[in-house]
Chains A and B, each alone.
Chain A
Amino acid sequence: MFSETGKTKMRSAAWRVSMWGALAFAFGTMVLFVFLHGFVSNDIQRRSDAWLSGEVEVLADVAERTPKDALYGRVVKEVAELASKEVPDRQKSDDALNNSVFFLQLAPDGSQALWVGEGDGSLHLNAIRSTKMAPDIPSDIRVTGHEIPFRVVSDRLQNGSLIYLGLSERDELRVLRNLRLRFVLIWLLIVSFGAAIVFYTTRRMLGHVRRITEAASRIGESDLSSRVPTTRRRDEVAHLAFTLNRMLDRIENSVHQLHTITDSLAHDLRSPLTAVRAKLEMSLTMGVRGEDSESIVSAIEEIDRLTEFLNKSLDVAEAKADALRLERVEIDLNEVLKVMVDLYEPSLFEQGLQIRLLSGEPAVISADAALVHRMISNLFDNELKHLRPTSTVTVSLHSFDGSALLVVEDDGPGFAREVLPSIFKSRAKGPNSNGRGLGLAFVEAVVRAHNGMIEASRSEAGGARIAIVLPLAHAEQRAMDVVEMTFE
């Protein structure tokens, strides 16, 4: 269950938007930081170089002015130690001697004359000797035993001896490391916070979209009177809802108009038909005899056929406009077929036809029972009317992928080639047909109204084949769930 919700969230557009948003934001701020970092480290370098150059000048001055006696070493050493305490960004330490700084004086012959700093200075001297250095320009020296390089500047005294002042880059690097660490922490915080904000706002917004979708899909099913929810804000989503509702108003209006037209047409035709039928029935009871009664009877039958024709054509007209009114209940197609085959079997048998029903398991669909009954009876009527004796009608029903597949086929002459492309249009009929050509148009109308598909083709035996696919009741539910999950 948990992984299901997790997956659902991952599939949501809100998740994608916040992921991409956070990624873009993180990348942008990272580039900005790299730039700033470079700027800051250059500045620190420049400041420490300025300090080094200043100090080395002071030391050179002191070294030159101080007489070369026994006190020389101590004076220079003290000056160097003092200088070391003024190192920029120095880490506070109680040590009298700051080990991040060294001072080295070389005699004109190249031997070590004075050393102030950690150790005996031989390692530093080796490192300096192995590096080419231009005077007065600070450069990096790597000393064995020290992980962090020293920034070293040199100066030549008038007597030809060289002095070196070195400053470990430790403090500089520490400052930069602190900067980076703080940046990364704050960066992570901001990025995740921003992503969360984006995620929740997008999700909220998409929640409106989801509710609109849900409402719209409900409306499409049957009920045209309800509307998608609107919000008080004036953003794009509210606009979408508003536009959808206005569109629904128009659709409802035209569907309503269509219903009014068909209703009044039906009413205007049925009322006189009722009166005529009543009169005919009356004259039948008045004792009309012989041939007169025959014609009255056939007139009544003709009226009944006309009524059914009227119903069918209005149904077809409404279905063409996707406005067929459905009263959905759950029905088992398998049961309906069994009853229908049972009903039609004697008539088919009388005509020398055989019928086979290939079906076993139930196929429950959510449909208007009366329409589905009439649809199947139309298909069977078609077979009865068009098949020659000794033909076999095969009716099969299978369920797969959340759909029910109903196939009615025969081994008769099949559909005439010229009617096949327009077989589901009203008034399409074969050259030998004496019907009004509404049967299959009605069948198609019912299938359409139930979100199904229909296909007419030539059967393997060369006869007519009509295949109908209707969504199973619970498959529709599942499809709705998928929509819901995607937007969750």
Chain B
Amino acid sequence: MIRGKALLRLKISAMLEHQSMRLLLVEDEVEIQGFLKRSLTEAGYQVDAAGDGKSAERLAVEGQYDALIVDLGLPDQDGITLILKLRELGVTVPVLILSARRSVDDRVRGLEQGGDDYLTKPFALAELLARLRNLLKRNSSSSAEATRIRVLDLELDLLRREASRGKEMLNLTPQEFVLLEYLCRNAGRVVTRSMILDQVWGMRIQPDTNVVDVHIYRLRGKVDLDGYRPLIRTLRGVGYVLRDR
């Protein structure tokens, strides 16, 4: 189990990944804005923050941002109206929408199809970072899909659906392979339970039982063999991380 320091280390590693990424954070609630700004800065982004639609509009048009994080409930205007206005003004960067509303607006759905993403409050920071990463990756066309993934001494053959640790073949079920693949693709980054449910099982559910933990527990039993260094770590209250160093 790793705690504060480990998380900090993770963030530093994230920082190295995207040094010069500039973000505009549009959030009116001071506490959340402060927390997000700090966390995103720690994660290595350059962050400008705006508390209302008007200043956000000015900043977005003037500055060159790689992505926007927009809260839907702004004091002077609706977040979606702002995004649509910015799109008209020629700001085409991806947007991560934050919403405390219950239902997902049809217009948000439209934006989502246009390559943007949304996250409902309250959210885990790890999830926000993961979605942001996805957005930025989507924006800069990614390289061709690899057929093998290597994380330290763990190796996944995506075509033959085989995994091995050092010289030992791992006997995984297809579902376990998908789960491990997801962890490997996010090696070194925190993934939350709801991210795992969404990405591995394709469901946005919030079970109040330990279903994901049991899967991870089983997977750990197969991957972290005796005599090998444990790779899958639990960050309680946050999620899991696959060690990559």
Contacts and interface: CB of A to CB of B under 8 A. Distances in A.
27 contacts: A263-B101, A263-B103, A270-B121, A270-B122, A274-B100, A274-B121, A274-B122, A275-B29, A275-B32, A278-B32, A279-B31, A281-B124, A281-B237, A282-B38, A284-B3, A284-B4, A284-B237, A300-B237, A304-B206, A311-B206, A339-B203, A343-B197, A343-B201, A347-B210, A377-B207, A384-B211, A435-B208
B55 to A, nearest CB: 20
A167 B148 CA distance: 120
A373 interface: yes
A325 interface: yes
B203 A297 contact: no
Interface in B189-245: 197, 201-211, 214-215, 217-218, 236-238
A324 to B, nearest CB: 9
A347 B209 contact: yes
B158 interface: no
B203 A266 contact: no
Contacts of A307: 122, 206
B7 interface: yes
A288 B36 contact: no
A293 B125 CA distance: 17
Contacts of B4: 284-289, 293
A133 interface: no
Contacts of A347: 209-211, 214
A274 B237 contact: no
B122 A263 contact: no
B8 interface: yes
Nearest to B193: A304
Interface size range of chain A in the complex = 35 or more
Given A284-B4, A374-B205, A270 B100 contact: yes
B211 A263 contact: no
Contact of B103 (A298, A325, A374): A325
Interface size range of chain B in the complex = 35 or more
Contacts of B167: none
Q: 9 tightest CB-CB pairs across the interface, nearest first?
A: A297-B237, A287-B4, A278-B35, A300-B237, A274-B122, A270-B100, A308-B206, A297-B236, A274-B121
Contact of A314 (B5, B102, B202): B102
Nearest to A370: B204
A262 B215 contact: no
Given A293-B4, A307-B122, A377-B203, A301 B39 contact: no
Interface string A105-122: 000000000000000000
Contacts of A370: 203-205
A296 B209 contact: no
B29 A281 contact: no
A425 interface: no
B204 A373 contact: yes
Given A279-B31, A296-B237, A347-B209, A342 B7 contact: no
Contact of B122 (A273, A287, A293, A298): A273
A385 interface: yes
Contacts of A278: 31-32, 35-36, 39, 122, 125
Interface in A344-360: 344, 346-347, 350
A303 interface: yes
A339 B31 contact: no
B102 A271 contact: no
B31 to A, nearest CB: 4
A326 to B, nearest CB: 10
A442 to B, nearest CB: 11
Contacts of A377: 203, 205, 207
Contacts of A259: 102-103
A130 B125 CA distance: 124
Which of the listed residues B73, B120, B211 has the most CB atoms from chain A within 10 Å of its own CB? B211
A287 B4 CA distance: 4
Interface in B1-33: 3-5, 7-8, 11, 29, 31-32
B208 A284 contact: no
Interface in A365-395: 370, 373-374, 377, 380-381, 384-385
Contacts of B236: 294, 297
A276 B124 CA distance: 11
A267 interface: yes
B147 to A, nearest CB: 25
Nearest to B236: A297
Contacts of A384: 209, 211
A277 interface: yes
Interface string A173-211: 000000000000000000000000000000000000000
Contacts of A273: 121-122
A305 interface: yes
Contacts of A300: 237-238
Interface in B115-166: 120-125
A282 B35 contact: yes
Contacts of A343: 197, 201, 203, 211, 215
B92 interface: no
Contacts of A280: 237
Contact of A381 (B39, B175, B209): B209
Contacts of A284: 3-4, 7, 237-238
B102 A342 contact: no
